[in-house]
Structure 1
Amino acid sequence: MKKVQLITDGACLGNPGPGGWSAILRFEEQKKELWGCEKQTTNNRMELTAAIEGLRALREKCQVEVVTDSEYVLKGITTWIDGWKRKGWMTAAKKPVINQDLWKLLDEQVNRHQATWTWTKGHASHADNNRCDELATRAAREQSKS
């Protein structure tokens, strides 16, 4: 099974506002950059979308280390999601999970792979995370111009 690293980031100009997401896939010496945007969204939705689209881009089952600077995504997928599913996608406060549509898509993509999750500090020393931030912000800015 291939070992892949997926680095993700999301950005939003205003929250909500125009948003962008990006993902970098690394396999051996290969690197692939992905990005996209939405007209009206939130930062959390873009963070989730980056992970979904990065995993979706993998054509076969892989061992994937997902690197994110989003504690929301990290805690959601590693800690909260099992409880949400058991409770019919309700929070501990008995309210519907926010961004449930994207959490379900992320769960589906994660289950296609053997995924581990790593948090990195944003805007710090992780070169690929900084590149993702640059791509996501650029995508959000381009979206805000159209």
Structure 2
Amino acid sequence: MITAAADGSALGNPGPAGWAWYVDDHCWAAGGWPHATNNQAELTAVLELFRATAHLDDELHVLCDSQYVINAVTKWMSGWKRKGWRKADGKPVMNVELLQLLDAELAGRRYRFEWVRGHVGHDLNEAADSRARAVAEAYRRGAAVPSGPGWTYEAASAVEAAAIVGDLEAELEPELDSGPEAAFEAASDDAALFSLDEPVDAWHTLTLDLSTEELERLVQRARAEGVSPEEFLRGFI
């Protein structure tokens, strides 16, 4: 499953506007217009997320702080379609062009929406919000728009693998900061990982160096067994 946040921003509403979806710092996209509404930006963020992942079969878990977008997709859209894209009072549905495009992208996809409160420190939501706002600010200033790298992963397992790699890098950062000489000396002092003559409670923690591709395969096999990568490896002991 892919988890991503989608958000929009309109300065003045309507005004300079931006949209963004965000998975992590290596996988996100943003865009916007000189003049649009906040709801248009919110809808476009979700639309562009579905477009970016159209080639994948993974379920999409969309984090969104717009109840308008979530209700439009999960509650209102089917009724609007039956009424020829008109509301219960007979008036035309607003933003119908975007909604029709989004409806087409949703066809055949596995997805679920989760409402998150905006501006309360939710990491993914804050990341999407800051990028959408940066685009709106760029249009207001007439500056270059930060559009992001776009979709950069092959599948959900690659997203999970990248997250694990990021966590490992964060844990190893203090050691890396000490320099290669210190790392070499530490390795020399502990040339053997452990001795079979030592009691079990004296054995050291086993550390594996895996490439991103190897880690992705590990995550895929662990998911197939319904366990964490650590539990999967422990099963070989």
The alignment's TM-score, normalised by the length of structure 1, stands at 0.92
Q: Percent identity?
A: 37
Q: State the match for 1:135 in structure 2.
A: 131
1:50 matched to 2:48? The reply is no
- Distance, in Å, in 1 between the alignment partners of 2:118 and 2:72 is 18
Q: Is contact 2:7–2:42 with CA below 8 Å preserved after alignment?
A: yes
Aligned counterparts of 2:75 and 2:97: Cα–Cα separation in 1 = 18
- Greater radius of gyration (CA): 2
1:22 to 15, 20, 23: 20
Is the partner of 1:143 in helix, strand or coil? helix
**Uncovered stretches (5+) of structure 2, i.e. residues with no partner:** 143-237
1:1-146 mapped onto 2 (5 Å cutoff) = 3-25=1-23, 31-58=26-53, 59-146=55-142
Structure 1 vs Structure 2 CA RMSD: 1.3
Distance 1:57 1:8 in 2: 12
Q: Which residue of 1 aligns with 2:203?
A: none
Query: 1:17 Cα deviation (Å)?
Result: 0.6
Greater relative contact order (Cα < 8 A, sep 6+): 1
Gaps of at least 5 residues in structure 1 are: none
Distance, in Å, in 2 between the alignment partners of 1:88 and 1:76 is: 15
Q: Give me the whole-angstrom Cα distance separating, in 2, the residues matched to 1:62 and 1:107.
A: 18
Does the 8 A contact of 2:63 with 2:116 survive in 1? yes
Amino acid of the structure 1 residue aligned with 2:49? G
Aligned mates of 1:112, 1:36 — CA distance in 2: 26
Between Structure 1 and Structure 2, the one with more strand by share is: 1
SS at match of 1:49: helix
CA deviation vs aligned residue, 1:4-60 (integer Å, no higher than 9, x gap):
11210000011111100000136xxx9511101111100000000000001100122
Query: Which has more helix, going by share of residues?
Result: 2
8 A contact 2:20–2:29 mirrored in 1: yes
Give aligned pairs, total. 141
Deviations 1:115-136 (A, max 9, x none): 1110000001311101111100
Distance 2:140 2:103 in 1: 30
The amino acid across from 1:109 in the alignment is E
Q: CA deviation at 1:62?
A: 2.4
**Stretches of 4+ moved more than 6 A in 1?**
none
